[in-house]
Each structure stands twice: as structure tokens, then as C-alpha cells.
């Protein structure tokens, strides 16, 4: 199983308003919500969040990912840019600052059918067929198909640990036991219900915290941006994760 699958199953797009993001124009999809934030309960907030993402077509945003390992207390921050486009297309570029300028260290690229983990430092590409590995609802709801309320129980979180004053903070608990999710927190903008932050706590209490900023819901994204040509990196090793998994399963059966 390639690393990107783990990341995508633990996170979805959040939009961190620092600086504060301007409210969407009246009448736009992003502005249409079913109730004022002050009047919503947890279930209504989930519905409004899902409604927001069902009505947008694409988004570009910068992100910061903070991962904290519970056992040793180690933490790591990563920065980058994410592009999402319906149906099912996504690209995550992780950036690294060097003396010569900022470069892309790693990319996760999907055209909705195939997922590529491109590791430039290791000169390695891992590809995964998404037809045989369905995306979880934590990803698919971005494209208007997944239903958060069916898989998670929602409650308002008032601990103040996440978000800022005025934010809607939801604590989502899987209805079925999951090794990937112990709890999932969503920090939502009270005006239009876009997600500003997502915090995933897994069964080992490791924390994967995404903050997103400078969102753009209007700028079109070319489909070619979600395609990856293996021939563009002739010196890289290309690994077929499905083929590798099949070989490993075959060896196990023979034992």
C-alpha cells in the first residue's frame, strides 16, 4: 500500500483563512447554505459542509500538513499546493525550499482512475489503480458523491483545542471501528461552511493536521494537470503497487 493512499484516507480539503478569506459572492454555490451558523447543530453543520462541496467544481489552495507521532512525540510540518477537480481528480505537490529556489519534492497525482506517488528525492514512482481500491468517503464527498453522515456520528466540539473564535468545530466518530480514524475533527467557516482545517487522530493517537489557505474556487484547472506521463521521468523506478500486492499475496498462498 503506497503512502499516498494513507494520506488521502486520513485527510480532505480544508481551507485555512489566514489571512481571512473573503466571503463568496451572493448567489454563488459557495454562498448557498441551508441555515445561519449560529442556529445549526452538528448534523446540520455536516449537511451544510457537504452541500458546499457538492456545488463547487474545482479548488486550488495552499496547505500546511503537521504530523505528530504519539509514541515519541515527534512532529513534522510540510507545505505545498493542492488542486481538486470533479470528477475525482486531485494533485498534491509537496514543496521544499532550497538555496536555488523552491522545488517540488513529492507529488500525489490522480486523474480519477490512476494514482501516482512521485518521489523526486528517491527517483521513484508508485502507481495505484483506483478501480480496485475505492476512495473512502473522506475523499469522495469532495466530489459530491460520499456521504459523511452515513459513516460518521457528529458532535460539536467546544474544547477550544482546534479552530479560532467563531469557527464551527465538529468531532466526527466512525460508526464502524476503523484503524485509520479514531476521531476526525473539521473546523468550518461559519459563513459558508467550507472546511478550514481537518485533524485526524488515528487508533494509535497519532495526529495528522491539515490547514489550507488562499483557496480559489473559480479558477479553472486544466485536465492535463492531473495526468502523469511515466516517460517524463526516464531515470525513475516505476513500481506497480497492485502488481506488487498480487505477487505478495501469491507467495503467501504458497506458504
Q: Is residue 175 part of a domain?
A: no
Per-residue confidence (pLDDT) for residue 38, from 0 to 100: 52
Assess if residue 189 is contained within a domain. Answer: no
Q: Is residue 46 part of a domain?
A: yes
Q: What is the CATH number of the domain that holds 29?
A: 2.50.20
pLDDT over threshold 80, residue 249: no
Answer yes or no: are the C-beta atoms of 237 and 47 closer than 8 Å.
no
Angstrom distance (rounded) from CA 150 to CA 136: 12
> Is residue 157 one of the residues assigned to a domain?
no
Q: Determine, yes or no, domain membership for 158.
A: no
- Detail the DSSP E strand segments found in 32-74: 58-68
Mean predicted lDDT score pLDDT of the chain? 78
pLDDT in tens, 160-210: 999 998 999 999 998 888 777 788 899 999 999 988 898 888 889 999 888
Domain enclosing residue 119, as ranges: 3-149+212-254
User: Is there a domain that residue 130 lies in?
Assistant: yes
**φ, ψ for residue 5, nearest 5 deg:** -60, -45
User: Residue 170: its pLDDT value, please?
Assistant: 94
- Count of the separate structural domains present in the chain: 1
Residue 187 resides in a domain: no
Q: Is the pLDDT of residue 65 over 70?
A: yes
The answer as to whether 164 is a domain residue is: no
Taking residues 237-248, report their average pLDDT.
78
Q: What does the alpha-carbon distance between residue 96 and residue 227 come to, in Å, rounded to a whole number?
A: 22
pLDDT reported for residue 53: 81
At 212, the pLDDT band (50, 70, 90 cuts) reads confident
User: Which band of pLDDT confidence, cut at 50, 70 and 90, is reported for residue 7?
Assistant: very low
Residue pair 62/93 in contact (Cβ under 8 Å)? The answer is no
Amino acid at each position: 500500500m503506497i503512502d499516498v493512499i494513507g494520506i488521502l484516507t486520513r485527510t480532505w480539503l480544508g481551507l485555512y483563512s489566514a489571512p481571512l478569506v473573503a466571503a463568496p459572492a451572493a448567489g454563488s454555490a459557495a454562498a448557498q447554505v441551508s441555515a445561519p451558523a449560529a442556529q445549526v447543530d452538528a448534523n446540520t453543520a455536516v449537511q451544510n459542509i457537504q452541500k458546499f462541496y457538492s456545488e463547487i467544481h474545482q479548488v486550488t489552495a495552499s496547505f500546511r500538513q503537521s504530523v505528530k507521532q504519539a509514541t515519541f512525540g515527534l512532529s513534522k510540518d510540510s507545505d505545498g499546493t493542492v488542486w481538486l477537480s470533479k470528477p475525482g481528480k486531485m494533485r498534491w505537490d509537496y514543496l521544499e525550499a532550497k538555496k536555488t529556489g523552491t522545488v517540488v519534492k513529492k507529488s500525489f497525482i490522480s486523474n480519477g482512475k490512476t494514482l501516482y506517488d512521485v518521489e523526486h528525492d528517491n527517483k521513484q514512482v508508485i502507481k495505484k489503480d483506483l478501480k480496485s481500491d475505492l476512495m473512502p468517503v473522506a475523499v469522495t464527498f469532495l466530489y459530491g458523491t460520499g456521504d459523511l453522515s452515513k459513516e460518521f456520528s457528529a458532535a460539536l466540539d467546544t474544547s477550544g483545542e482546534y479552530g479560532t473564535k467563531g469557527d464551527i468545530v465538529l468531532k466526527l466518530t466512525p460508526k464502524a471501528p476503523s484503524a485509520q480514524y479514531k476521531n476526525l475533527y473539521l473546523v468550518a467557516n461559519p459563513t459558508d461552511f467550507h472546511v478550514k482545517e481537518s485533524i485526524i487522530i488515528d487508533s494509535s493517537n497519532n495526529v495528522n493536521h491539515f490547514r489550507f489557505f488562499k483557496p480559489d474556487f473559480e479558477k479553472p484547472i486544466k485536465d492535463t494537470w492531473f495526468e502523469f506521463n511515466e516517460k517524463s521521468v526516464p531515470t525513475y523506478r516505476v513500481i506497480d503497487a497492485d502488481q506488487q500486492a498480487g505477487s505478495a499475496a501469491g507467495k503467501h498462498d504458497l506458504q
